Structures are given as C-alpha cells and as structure tokens.
Amino acid sequence: MAHVPHAQRREQLIAATIEVMATSGLDTATSRRIAEAAEAPLASIHYTFGTLESLISTAYAEVLEEVRGLLDRSVPRTQGFGIAMESLADAVADLFADPRFGILLIDLNPAGDDRLLEVGDRYYDFGPELVRSVATESGNEPPLDPDQFGRLIMAGIDGVGQQFSFHHDPELARTDLRVLLGALARP
C-alpha cells in the first residue's frame, strides 16, 4: 500500500466517516467500516485521530461548519426577519433533502452521545448569531430577545428535523419550517 501523507489521510478518514454516518447513521460508524470506506488501514484511524470518538467529533464538526456556511450564505440579512426566516426555512429543508446532511442533522445527538457534546454549542450558536446579524444588517429590531429568538429558531429546526426523520418529506418540512419560522418573525 502506497504511503499517503498525513493531511490527505486525515481528509480521507473524515470524508469516509461522513459517508458512513450519512448512509447508515452514527451507530454504524465503526473503525472497521470507516477504514474500509476510506480504503485505509484500520490503524490509520488511531494513528491520525487517536480515537474513533475524536474522528467522529471531527467529522461532525466539519459537517456542521459546512451546514452553517450554507445556511449563512442563504439568508439575506438586509430585508428583515420575515424574508430571513423564509430563506432559512427553505435552506434547512434543502439540507434535509440532501442525504449527506439530512441524516446528520436528524441524528445530531439523539441519545446524548458525549462524543458530540463539543460540537453542540457551535450548532446552537447559529440561531442567536443569525438574529443579531439580521438585526444589524436590516436595521430592524428582532421581535423577541435575540438569544431567545435564536434558541426558538434552533428548537424549530430540531423539531421539524425530528418529524422529518419519520416522514422523509422535504416539502412538508419546508412548509412547516416556513410557517413556524415566519410566525416567530412576526412582531
């Protein structure tokens, strides 16, 4: 087997972990399965990340940063909260429909898995950060306290995500998110 540079191996393992979790869920993300998907030696996980838990946390963190970036770019901030929430609803529904993100958003931390606690804060900070950004760029005051509004946005996304895990209908999720987030945006 040819030598693969450390940085390249790291990226291969992260991509394989995301692939395994996206197709089958967190419970199937074993060292053996990830190494096979990455076409890498089993020991490379421990050599590169130290532990399987560290690899999984790193993979989740990378996906969440990608999700935050996609959502961040999809929400116009200068037109006020109504348009911002409608755009956010559409962007989240599109993520649910994408197998790479859908299962990861639904399976974010269903059983309080300690391996994922470190990425949770970054995920949940998105809502309040978005509210503050829309308020600043649109010149409109949020209809609620920014922290509370942000938490409710994320709670709504989580709730619709949980429902999506049962019905797998991205258009129903889109409609529900638009109604819910739109209601939050009304003064």
Domain count, the chain: 1
* Residue 88 · residue 153 · CB < 8 Å: yes
What does the pLDDT read at residue 2? Answer: 66
Q: How far is CA 102 from CA 2, 63, 72, 91, in A?
A: 35, 11, 17, 12
Choose the most confident range, by mean pLDDT, from 19-33, 57-71, 85-99, 130-144: 130-144
CATH (domain of 115): 1.10.357.10
| Percent of the chain topping pLDDT 70 | 89
Is residue 114 in a domain? yes
| pTM, to two decimals | 0.79
pLDDT averaged over every residue in the chain: 86
For 70-96, write each residue's pLDDT tens digit: 989 999 999 999 999 999 999 988 988
**pLDDT band at 168; cut points 50, 70, 90:** confident
User: How many whole angstroms separate alpha carbon 61 and alpha carbon 31?
Assistant: 18
Neighbouring C-beta atoms of residue 54, cutoff 10 Å: 14
Residue 27 has pLDDT above 80, yes or no: no
Is residue 136 in a domain? yes
The stretch 51-68 carries a mean pLDDT of 87
Is residue 86 in a domain? yes
Give the helix/strand (H/E) hosting 154: helix 146-167
Enclosing domain of residue 132: 6-185
Is residue 164 in a domain? yes
Is residue 1 in a domain? no
The stretch 178-183 carries a mean pLDDT of 94
Higher pLDDT, 14 or 67: 14
The stretch 11-24 carries a mean pLDDT of 90
